[in-house]
A = this chain, B = another copy of it.
Amino acid sequence: MEFSSKLLENAVYEVSQLPGIGKRTALRLVLHLLKQPNEQTTRLTSALVNLKSNIKFCKNCHNISDVILCEICANPKRDQTTVCVVEDIRDVMAIENTDQFKGLYHVLGGKISPMEGVGPQDLTIASLIGKVKQGEIKELIFALSSTMEGDTTNFYIFKQLEGTEIKTSTIARGIAIGDELEYADEVTLGRSILNRIPFENSLKA
């Protein structure tokens, strides 16, 4: 792509550094901003700079928060003894949307992924183990994505917990509600048979 303007080229380059945004999309976004009033660019850039410089993370669960202790951790009605381990804030939002979980979260900030150079020390695993060793948590629910990295991370944490008496579980894998059996992949279908549940339990939700 040849540009008639260095300023434009530079802006397109920086936007195209975002994940999933190629040069063409970046050019479209930048040209859109150029057509809008100056205020839109100012609002966009200052929102990003503001977020980046003033962001805080909850000291207990490491979720993004504007205060030291996030709303969920600070809520006395939530079950402090059950902790759901998730990758990032999007998973917290997704689980909160279900209204089915009343415990606390622990946000790891990613998954162990040697390919991307993410090791256990880059995540908040040490802080999780520390919390468990204080003895107030009774159950950890692993809710990471069902990928190699997710499974590795689950297993790493599980090994670190050896010697403690904590109960661990993972969220159920199976056929999604509304899905047709014939289109399900074999591994999921196989697991859903192995991990079948008493029929009465399926009536509860």
Contact = CB atoms under 8 A, between A and B. Distances in A.
Interface of A: 1-8, 10-11, 13-15, 17-21, 25, 27-35, 38, 40-56, 58, 63-66, 70-72, 88-90, 92-93, 96-97, 109-110
Contacts of A90: 27-28, 31
Contacts of A50: 7, 10-11
How many of these chains are in the complex?
A: 2
B8 A51 contact: yes
B4 A47 contact: no
A7 B49 contact: no
A6 to B, nearest CB: 6
A20 B64 CA distance: 26
A53 to B, nearest CB: 8
A21 B18 CA distance: 12
6 cross-chain pairs, A with B, having the tightest CB-CB distances, nearest first: A45-B45, A11-B51, A14-B47, A11-B47, A14-B44, A41-B52
A51 B44 CA distance: 14
Contact of A30 (B7, B48, B63, B70): B48
Contacts of A29: 18-21
